[in-house]
Structure 1
Amino acid sequence: MTIKTGDKLPDATLTIATADGREQKTTAELFGGRTVALFSVPGAFTPTCSAKHLPGFVTHADKLKAAGVDEIVCMSVNDAFVMAAWAKSASADGKITMVADGNADFTKALGLEMDATKFGMGIRGQRFSFIAKDGVVTHLFVEEPGAFAVSSAEHMLGQLG
């Protein structure tokens, strides 16, 4: 079942690369007690994700925070070290928290996985974004396959304004 506006986020553990290695964060730790904007991409370093999706959130990070977002999270079904390298290459360090959902456990619990095996990419996350306040989804934007519009930083800002 796909998550919807008003639903509590499912329990899961995500991974963040740090200077000391990998750090595990539960969804309760990541989303509890604050407002978080999360956007999910099918893969780090993939064309639309690298050219449009991540850069939009980097560019608009200050505006999102001014609109009441405490933290911006980028998630992908990649490993934490790939996510950290992508953050560095995109100048996202300090603006976006890059989290790995390496086995797609959280993505599957959200009901937003996609089968990209025909492209040699395995199970991935759909392109989507949401706002969660204290772990409850207040806004949800899921793209149609192959599209990039409603999950963008610009669209999210328009919904918050």
Structure 2
Amino acid sequence: MSCETVSFASDAAKTAHAHAAALLASRQAKPGDKLPLKEHVKETDATTPLILAPSGKSIFVGVPGAFTPTCSLQAPGYIERYDEFKAKGVSEIFVVTVNDTFVTKAWKEKLAPKGTPVRFIADDQALFVSALGLVLDATTALGGPRAKRFVVIANDDTIEHVIVEENAGSLTATEASKVLELL
């Protein structure tokens, strides 16, 4: 294969990722919308889909990538403050990343070697975040579409709050202490 062919294929892939991310993010979820619970994600096994079925107040923390610096600062806040969230009526916290199950599990084990009730969800095909309209074109930094940095607060299957960082590399509005203030 020539260098020109590789360059063309690379450029075509980048363009396709950018257009796909823009299309998928064209309608962002808002309060009152239903969670896209029919979208399959994975938690513990790469071949076994999980259909989310949250009950009560739940928090979905979307992160662009496991093991990335800002994401590895964000997720521990939810792990460390889990009891504070429970005291405010939160039944479950889900950290959602567009990574495969193996990477997601390894990241959880690194962040919480003694375990945590915070659930780490692999949205390996970006189906859940796409249905929420929260896809980020991270082709340059992470190789393809990923999740925007977001927090969705839901009661049963109804979205109450959607918080999205303007800059996915920043951690301001979606930091655990800021989300606790909303509850």
Between structures 1 and 2, the one with greater helix share? 2
Q: 1:17 is matched with which residue: 39, 44, 48? A: 44
Amino acid at match of 2:39: A
Partner of 1:26: 51
Partner of 2:161: 139
Q: Distance in 1 between matches of 2:137 and 2:86?
A: 33
Gaps in structure 2 of 5+ consecutive residues: 1-26
How far did residue 24 of structure 1 move?
A: 1.9
Q: 1:6 is matched with which residue: 23, 32, 36? A: 32
How far did residue 139 of structure 1 move?
A: 1.6
Q: Distance in 1 between matches of 2:30 and 2:108?
A: 28
The alignment's TM-score, normalised by the length of structure 1, stands at 0.89
Instruction: Give 3-state SS (helix, strand or coil) of 1:155's partner.
Output: helix
Partner of 2:81: 60
Contact 1:16 1:22 (8 Å CA) reproduced:
no
Amino acid at match of 1:153: A
Instruction: Give 3-state SS (helix, strand or coil) of 2:131's partner.
Output: helix
Amino acid at match of 1:57: Y
Partner of 1:110: 132
Q: Distance in 2 between matches of 1:120 and 1:128?
A: 17
Question: Which structure has the larger Rg over C-alpha atoms?
Answer: 2
Partner of 2:146: 124
Distance 1:43 1:6, change over 3 A: same
Q: Distance in 2 between matches of 1:35 and 1:22?
A: 28
Between structures 1 and 2, the one with greater strand share? 1
Contact 1:6 1:137 (8 Å CA) reproduced:
yes
What percent identity do the matched residue pairs reach?
A: 38
Contact 2:70 2:170 (8 Å CA) reproduced:
no
Amino acid at match of 1:44: A
Aligned length: 154
